[in-house]
Amino acid sequence: MAMRCEQVVDVLVDYIDGELDAEHSQRLQNHCDSCLHCARFVETYCRTGKICRKALSVTMPGSVESTLFEFLRTELQSG
């Protein structure tokens, strides 16, 4: 049975974490082979995690942190 686009979204986290069984993994891969939209979605989802991990490994300079904190505090107080 072929996988539908909404099913890709439902199982994506398990697929990325390697927790999806072999049959469903293959169905997801087959679907992405024929659905450019889902293939791009899966690729983007995977890259987002990598980008976030990389961003979290960088220390923000103190001056930038202070400026950002002040900006956010002002915005929260005014909104």
Q: Where are the domains of the chain?
A: 5-78
| pLDDT per position as a tens digit, 18-53 | 999 999 999 999 999 999 999 999 999 989 988 988
Three-class DSSP labels, the chain: CCCCHHHHHHHHHHHHCCCCCHHHHHHHHHHHHHCHHHHHHHHHHHHHHHHHHHHHCCCCCHHHHHHHHHHHHHHHHHC
| pLDDT per position as a tens digit, 8-26 | 999 999 999 999 999 999 9
* 76 pLDDT tier (thresholds 50, 70, 90): very high
